[in-house]
Amino acid sequence: MVTAQSLDTKIRNRAVFLDRDGVINRAIVKGGKPYAPRELKEFRLLPGATAAVQDLKCSGFVIFVVTNQPDIGHGLIDPQALERMHERLRERLPIDDIRVCPHRQDEGCMCRKPRPGMLNSLAEEWNIDMAGSYMIGDRESDINAGKNAGCKTILIDRNYAEGCSVKPNFRVRSIRDSIELIQF
């Protein structure tokens, strides 16, 4: 018989939430601002990303990609092209789930980072202990989403012109560097 008390003692999973562009694949930087690739030929994994994600997976973390993709809402990328990019990620990285916010910045949806909607829905679905989990991103919206969801946050500092005014738990230069900070 399952009781409320036995549910409270159920072991919860720890996760690493990864932003996509600028964290595991190259962002296209124009004028100091990062943009998502719009074609599969532009979609390139960053050096060390595959090994870093594999290390996290082997250490027992559930791995998620959470990505804002407003170019869908703006009609600048075909959703099938985006899905082909994500198929490539699934082929090369041990990712448990990918969540996409396709909305434009002005739509006010709950899933768009810095709101924690994508992270919270994954946490509920996968029984995630948010206090023991990490959000790794390269922009302020990623760090705010992680903080809003109750995760530890790691900023991969790419020196974008927009900067980051919020303080992450950690600041690093690459996803590989972030692995050394994560408590296994």
Which residue carries 């919270």 as its tokens? 120
Is 138 considered catalytic here?
no
19 is a catalytic site residue: yes
Which residue among the candidates 8, 19, 71, 96 is catalytic per the annotation? Answer: 19
What's the distance, Cα to Cα, between the start and end of the chain in Å? 33
Of the CA atoms within 13 Å of residue 75, those in its CB half-sphere come to: 0
Which stretches of the chain are assigned E, i.e. beta strand?
15-18, 28-30, 33-35, 62-68, 97-101, 134-137, 152-156, 170-172
Residue 48: name the closest of 93, 98, 99, 83 by CA: 93
Report which DSSP code applies to 147. Answer: H
Check 21, 71, 138, 142 and give the catalytic one.
21
- Tell me the catalytic residues: 19, 21
